[in-house]
Amino acid sequence: MIKITNIKKSFNENTVLDGISFDVKKGDVIAIIGPSGTGKSTLLRCLNYLEKADAGEIDFDGEKIDFTNITKEQISSLRKKTSMVFQQWNLFKKKTVLQNVMLGLTVVQKLPKEEARKIAIEELTKVKMADRLNYYPQHLSGGQQQRVAIARAIAMNPELILFDEPTSALDPELVGEVLETIQKLANEGNTMIIVSHEMNFVRKVATKVIFMEKGKIVESGTAEEIFSYPKNERTRQFLINNQINISPEYSI
């Protein structure tokens, strides 16, 4: 189990994360929803140490990392345990699809090229990109590039995959293929935290939903609890604004 405790982050005097704590069990798909600017993406970046949290702790099955006293070795360990899929796919333009996925395996994990190639092809096959191995990113659609980015993330065999608005930069007609890929990963038992505005997808895929606002967790529960029977008025209003039908049995 992964335990996230009291994550705090401020930029100057602006508090972005104000004591975020929650647990992640193996195979969980945790979706974080909430209005823009409430710290959701910053939280993911702190968990992968792309942003330095001011305080807090993450515990991977007993291996505790305190963000206030983190060492270089712990940063390396944290990044090996987590992989992140960004809003923008961030592929290397001068490398092929296959080379993009192999890079982390050869540089970070120090695998032999043939082993890295085998793993990369396996993961690209999973995301239906095996027929584009020798293509360069500029010859792919946005949805295809994001699927390559997902293959790159899962090729590292992380304990936790972080998705930061993985469809927000895509044209509407390309969103479905990426969501289908993420759904497949969820069905395979991958442990994931997803920040998304795709409410219907979140409702379908998430084992747990966290609603955040102003750097705090306002409410959390199963998808059914949050989407059908929200306990907090602010959660209710957010869902209504996103055209989610609240159960008529809802009451404060």
- SS3 of 116, please? helix
Residue 138 burial (CB count, 10 A): 9
pLDDT at 168: 86
pLDDT at 252: 43
- Rounded mean pLDDT for each run of 10 residues along the chain, 252 residues in total: 96 94 96 94 94 95 93 91 89 95 92 96 95 96 93 94 90 88 93 93 94 96 94 92 67 44
Structure tokens at 193: 């935290």
Exposure b/e, 184-218, CB count within 10 A at least 16 = b: ebbeeebbbbbbbebbebbbebbbbbbbbbebebb
pLDDT at 243: 74
pLDDT at 249: 53
Cβ neighbours for 34, distance < 8 A, ≥ 6 positions apart: 40, 211, 212, 213, 218, 238
* Span between the terminal Cα atoms of the chain, in Å: 32
pLDDT at 250: 47
- pTM of this prediction? 0.92
